[in-house]
Structures are given as C-alpha cells and as structure tokens.
Amino acid sequence: MTTFHVAVTGSDRADGTRDAPFRTINRAARAAMPGDTVQVHEGTYREWVRPVRGGVSDDRRITFEAAPGEHVAIKGSEVVTGWVRDEGTVWRVDVPNTLFGDLNPFAEPVAGDWLHPGPGGTVAHRGDVYLNGRSFHEVHDRAAVLAPERRTRTRYPWTALDTELVVPDRTVHVWFAEVSDDVTTIWANFADADPNAELVEINVRPAVFYPERSHLDWITVRGFELAQAATPWTPPTADQPGLIGPNWAKGWVIEDNLIRDSKCSGVSLGKNAATGDNFAHERGDKPGYQYQIEAVFTASHQGWDREHVGSHVVRRNEIRDCGQNGVVGHLGCVFSTIADNHIHHIGTKHEFYGYEIGGIKLHAPIDVEVVHNRIHDTTLGIWLDWQVQGTRISRNVLYRNLRDLFVEVSHGPATIDHNVLASPIAIELFSQGNAFVNNLVLGAVRMQPVLDRATPYHLPHSTQVAGYAFVYAGDDRYVGNLFVGARGGVYGPEAPLVLEGFPPESFGTHAYDGFPASWEEYQQRVGSPGGAGDHSRFHHEHQPAYVRANAYADGARPAAHEADAVTVTEAAVVRVVDDGAEVHLELDLPAALTTPSTPVVTGADLGRVRIAAAGFEDRDGSPVVADVDLVGTRKEPGTPYPPGPLAALDGGTSRVRIW
C-alpha cells in the first residue's frame, strides 16, 4: 500500500514521495493502484481530476484525500486578469478561446430534456464569473450589465408557486459574454470592486473530479474544497455528470468535502449516456417519459444491478450554490447512503428553470437511505421520482425551502420518519405506498393521483422490474406525526411566497377525507364496480389511507376517519431557528400535544404496499424499525412516545438543538 503525495511545489517528473511530490492530482491518479492513497497538500489545484482506475473492493480502495489539517481546493476555474473599465462599474476582458480546450462554457447553453427557457425565452449558458468565490448572475444583453433589472417575477409552471425575486443593482453582480472565433469577451458589473485587485475567476472545465470511463469502482474522495465547474443540465434521460461523481460505478465514498458552485449538479450518482442522452429534447418524437422507460430497460440490459452499480456513500459534505441539484442520480444511486450533509442554496439563482431542480433529486432510489441531512434555501429540498422503493428518509431537517419533500409517480414502500419538514409546502405526494412516522410537519400537505403515467416497480431489494402501474393515490400511512398548521413562510429576506391553491385545510391529513380507512373497506369498494371492467374499476377508487395516533394544532386538521387524533385549539407555536452552525427548535406547545401515545413503529405495524406487494424493510430484508429520534436518541420497544420526531418533548416553552 503506497501513499503518493501531491503539492503545488512538486513536479510530475518526480517520484510522488513526501520529499519529491507530484505537481498534479491527475499524475498521482495515473500512478495509484488498488489499496493506494493519494494525499494532496495545501494549495489550489486547477484541474479536472479523471481517475484512470479504481479499487477492487471496499478494503482495497484508491483514496484521494487532503493532507490532515491542510486546505486543498480543486477548481474547474481559471483566474482572469487584465480587466479594462468599459462604462461606470462595468469592466471588460478578452479571454483567448484556447483557455477553454474542447468546450467553451460561455458558448455552451444549458439545455436538455424537461428544461424550460427563462423569462422571455432566454437561454442560460454554462459559463460563470466569480468574484472572491461568489458567482455572478448572467444577463442576456450588454445593456443589462450596466443597469441590472431590479425585480423579476417568476411563475413556477410545475407548482402552485408564484414568487418574486428581488435583484437590486449594486448588490447583485452580473455578466454577459460574446464568443468569436478567437476570443470570448466578457462584460461584468463589479459594483464597487476593482477586478484587477480582487480574485476573479471564470469556469472553464465541465467537472472537477469525475472519471471519463465508467465502472471505476471503490474510490474515496475526502476532505477537499471542490468548486466552480461548468456542468451540464442533468435530467434523468441524459448523461448525468456532476462536479464530482463516479460516472456509473460502484462503491464510491465522497465525504467531508465542501462542494460548491456547480453550474448545474454538485454530486452526481447518476446514469451515463449509454442509456440515452436528451433524446426527447434532440429528436422531439417521443415524450421524455417514454425515453425514461426505455432508459430503465436499456440499463438493465447493460448490467444495472447491485453487483455493478451504486452502493455509494455521500456523507458529511457541505454542498451549496449549485444551479440545479446538490445531489442528483438516476439508476446509478441504488443502494446508496446520503447522510450528515449540509445542503443549501440550490436552484436559488433562478437563471434557468425546469422539472429537475432540487437539493437532492433522485430517480429510482431503490434501497437508498437519506439520513440526517440539513437542507435549506432550495427550491425543493428532497425530490424522489420514479421507482421509490425500499427508500428511507430519516432524521432530516428541512426548512426555508419553497417545498420540502416531493415523492412522484412511485409505488413504495418508502419510509419517512423523524424528520422536520418546516417549509410552506412540506409534503407533496404524486405517489402511493408511503409511510410517515413521527415527523414534525409545519407546512401544507398535497397529494393527487397520476393516471396518465405508468411507472415501474421492482422485486424487493432488486433492480429487476416486476411490473408497471398508475398512481391511484393513497396506500399511505401516517402514524405519530405532529402537524402544526398554517404557519406560512417567506422565501429569502424580501420576497414573499404566495401559496396559491393551498387553503388552510391543506394542513394536516385532511386531504385524505373520503379515502377508505382500511384494507377491508377498499376491497369492498372495488368489489362493487357498478358495471366497470376489471381494469377501469380501480381507477374509480383511491386506495386506503391508514391514519392513526397523530396530533394537530394551529389549523391543521386530521382525516375524517382518524379515530384517535389529538387536536388542540389552544395556541401552538414551533419555529426553526437557524443559528449558523447550529439549528434549534423553539416550541410553545399545549401539554396535550406532547402526551406519550405511540410506541416504536416497525415494518410489521405498517403492512405491505398494494402495488409492489412489498413490506417496509431495511436493505437486508428485515422489517424497518423507526426507533432513533431526530437527535439520535434510541427509543425503547413498547414504551409510548410523544407525536413528532423527538423522544423527549414536554408541553410549554422549550428550545431544542436539532443540528
């Protein structure tokens, strides 16, 4: 087992020892063999690290790590100097196109399936300008560089959201570029800064740490700052490169890094181009939905299974300031764990718009665990889409997002337990087969059937497709949750969020009024089809909603058939307080809301989902046991606990650190 060293003072003609280090990480990557470590020393490395081989097992990895106690930045950008004042606070620079290599991000649009043009049909580009590490906003004509628009209003076509983005000039920096045969001319408004006296960078590389070949397995990346990549739009029907990622492999560990300023996606656990690459956008002959179905089958033919793909670990990273996703992945994320990360300011620049934007956006997250992450200031915190089966969302803290959790066109089982969902829209379900256990829900709850998109489900704990089905709505479980109702919300310091289409009765489980309360009632309903045929009679009925032992306050309302709901009319207040490195809950609750009432919930209590005919289980096939609360306290079997994510919660006023 060899440790190779890299330093900014080194040489790629050296031996890679501590006394004679390499100069580039790529040189060390070419030398490293399974079981070896590449240790990188203090400094900034401007390169796209492309490993040429991986490890052979979990205990014979190739590890890339920052030297202990040393700050190591790997950037997809280059420093740009020689700015000339153009007019007022606008400066101009001519960048030789040779700087960019094969891809000029300032000439390359952000484009692909499910992407929508910006206001007025504008198209964003993959380029970006950074002043002292902070990215500028792109504008679409030179005049706008001198006088940035003060206010834009954005309608999000896939939600009921209507939000206003305030952009005062002198506080938001902007850029515009024109590309000729030989040079790229960039105009940028630096406000009061002198770009020749500050650090100004532009992104030039499409990735920072991402292999060009697939199936380089068992690689660890630890302790770096990874920043400023010109990544492409990554829908589930395309090649999905990120600033960092395995590129269709198995067993990567990405831990303890700062991952920031990816134009689109930060960490990618997604698919590659071999299963399709933006065909709906390029060909226009079929909807993206159809190409996504084809991608699932193509991946299966190419070896999409537990033995060859997935089982990654993404943990203890800070992931911020990415235009599309903090973590993205279709198919390649299976059997992975995303834990203990701080994900924020994702999709909040609003430079482009589409259906694939979120802090964590996963398609086919089979047996994926998303545990104890702090996610805030995103357009959508966690978005799980297609084939959400065996998935566990546990002990996460989500707040100050436009939406917290969206589960789409999936059939379960998915377990969502001991989370804080504190944004104006807390839960959206265009899916079935979900179990919500011991969550704190401070926002609206929305659900609906989807009868025009049949999506796959799988054999338990497998990538093998078992069948297809529509989403009929229901087959959901709610046990031991605390709903504190219409608290409203503000997105950003000045921009009010308008919740159109979310009346007060959207808070709580009231949306399930009229659903069957039991499996027996459902069977009775579909067994009396009134002349409907074998297939269509199921379209006329929602599935059961199993709702029990929840508590409601501040206008949140239970489903009409919840017999043991606790509902209080006294004032109840819960606030999420962001104190920087820490997050606290400030509570003022009536004692009735905190009375212990629910013992530990297990998979045996939750039954089996109807379509996939699968139980709520861990990856090893054992029943789920929801016995660890939000702050890590282990619950004792058979002991009753209060509704919500905390094992210990008293009435009255309290303040609890949750991060």
Is pLDDT at 345 greater than 50 in this prediction?
A: yes
- Taking a C-beta distance cutoff of 8 angstroms, is the pair 469, 432 a contact? no
Q: What b-and-e string marks burial along 601-632, b requiring 16 or more CB atoms within 10 Å of the CB? A: bbbebbbbbbbbebbbbbbeeeebbbbbbbbe
**Tokens standing for residue 33:** 């063999």
What is the CA 401 to chain-centroid distance, rounded? 12
Is pLDDT at 164 greater than 50 in this prediction?
A: no
> Which pLDDT value is given to residue 56?
98
- 288 with 423, same domain? no
Is pLDDT at 498 greater than 80 in this prediction?
A: no
Higher pLDDT, 648 or 527: 648
> What is the largest distance, in Å, between two alpha-carbon atoms of the chain?
83
For residues 393 and 377, what is the distance between their CA atoms, to the nearest angstrom? 19
457 pLDDT band, cuts 50/70/90, is very high
Q: Is the bond preceding 119 in cis, omega lying within 30 degrees of 0?
A: no
> Which pLDDT value is given to residue 486?
62
Is pLDDT at 501 greater than 80 in this prediction?
A: no
- Taking a C-beta distance cutoff of 8 angstroms, is the pair 608, 633 a contact? no
* Cβ count within 10 A of residue 535: 7
Classify residue 147: in a domain, yes or no: yes
- 236 with 302, same domain? yes
Total count of residues recorded for the chain: 659
- 213 with 136, same domain? yes
**Mean of pLDDT values over 202-208:** 98
Condensed to tens digits (0 to 9), the pLDDT of residues 634-652 reads 999 999 999 999 999 999 9
- Residue pointed to by tokens 């017999």: 563
- 23 with 83, same domain? no
Classify residue 526: in a domain, yes or no: no
Classify residue 535: in a domain, yes or no: no
Interacting residues of 4 by C-beta distance below 8 A, sequence separation 6+: 16, 17, 22, 28, 31, 32, 36, 37, 38, 39
> Which pLDDT value is given to residue 392?
98
User: Between the CA of residue 71 and those of 7, 39, 66, 68, 224, what are the distances in Å?
Assistant: 12, 12, 7, 9, 7
For residues 174 and 148, what is the distance between their CA atoms, to the nearest angstrom? 7
Distance between first and last Cα of the chain: 38
Is pLDDT at 191 greater than 70 in this prediction?
A: yes
- 298 with 382, same domain? no
- 213 with 344, same domain? yes
- Taking a C-beta distance cutoff of 8 angstroms, is the pair 6, 36 a contact? no
**Mean of pLDDT values over 13-19:** 98
What is the CA 147 to chain-centroid distance, rounded? 34
**Mean of pLDDT values over 123-146:** 95
H/E stretch holding 525? helix 519-526
Tell me which residue range forms the domain holding 500.
Answer: 365-517+552-560+567-659
CATH assignment of the domain containing 213: 2.60.40.1180
Classify residue 525: in a domain, yes or no: no
User: What is the chain's mean pLDDT, rounded?
Assistant: 92
298 pLDDT band, cuts 50/70/90, is very high
491 pLDDT band, cuts 50/70/90, is very low
Classify residue 65: in a domain, yes or no: yes
> Which pLDDT value is given to residue 275?
96
- 36 with 82, same domain? no
Is pLDDT at 500 greater than 60 in this prediction?
A: no
> Which pLDDT value is given to residue 148?
75
Alpha helices for 9-119 (secondary structure H)? 25-31
| φ, ψ (nearest 5 deg) of residue 297 | -70, -40
Q: Which of 78, 77, 84 is nearest to 194 (CA)?
A: 84
> Of 23, 58, 75, which residue constitutes the final position of a domain?
75
**Tokens standing for residue 533:** 């045929």
**Mean of pLDDT values over 97-126:** 92
Q: Which of 558, 551, 479, 472 is nearest to 512 (CA)?
A: 558
- 291 with 377, same domain? no
Interacting residues of 283 by C-beta distance below 8 A, sequence separation 6+: none
Beta pairing, strands 374-378 & 397-399: parallel
- 40 with 131, same domain? no
> Which pLDDT value is given to residue 159?
42
For residues 351 and 264, what is the distance between their CA atoms, to the nearest angstrom? 10
For residues 381 and 392, what is the distance between their CA atoms, to the nearest angstrom? 15
Alpha helices for 468-584 (secondary structure H)? 519-526
Q: Which of 400, 588, 561, 558 is nearest to 489 (CA)?
A: 400
Classify residue 537: in a domain, yes or no: no
Q: What does the angle CA 270 – CA 400 – CA 411 come to, to the nearest 5 degrees?
A: 45
Q: State pTM to two decimals.
A: 0.95
> Of 24, 43, 75, which residue constitutes the final position of a domain?
75
Is pLDDT at 150 greater than 60 in this prediction?
A: no
> Of 359, 389, 424, which residue constitutes the final position of a domain?
359
149 pLDDT band, cuts 50/70/90, is low
Classify residue 207: in a domain, yes or no: yes
- 288 with 428, same domain? no
Classify residue 143: in a domain, yes or no: yes
- 87 with 218, same domain? yes
Percent of the chain past pLDDT 90, that is, above it, reads 87
**Mean of pLDDT values over 506-516:** 94
For residues 159 and 384, what is the distance between their CA atoms, to the nearest angstrom? 16
Q: Which of 121, 94, 127 is nearest to 108 (CA)?
A: 127
552 CB-contact burial (10 Å; exposed 0-12 / middle 13-18 / buried 19+) = buried
502 pLDDT band, cuts 50/70/90, is low
- Taking a C-beta distance cutoff of 8 angstroms, is the pair 152, 165 a contact? yes
- 601 with 654, same domain? yes
> Which pLDDT value is given to residue 373?
98
156 pLDDT band, cuts 50/70/90, is very low
Condensed to tens digits (0 to 9), the pLDDT of residues 38-85 reads 999 999 999 999 999 999 999 999 999 999 999 999 999 999 999 999
Q: Which 3 state secondary structure label does DSSP give 640? A: coil
**Mean of pLDDT values over 527-548:** 83
CATH assignment of the domain containing 444: 2.160.20.10
Query: How many domains does the structure of the chain reveal?
Result: 3
> Which pLDDT value is given to residue 496?
37
359 pLDDT band, cuts 50/70/90, is very high
For residues 35 and 172, what is the distance between their CA atoms, to the nearest angstrom? 47
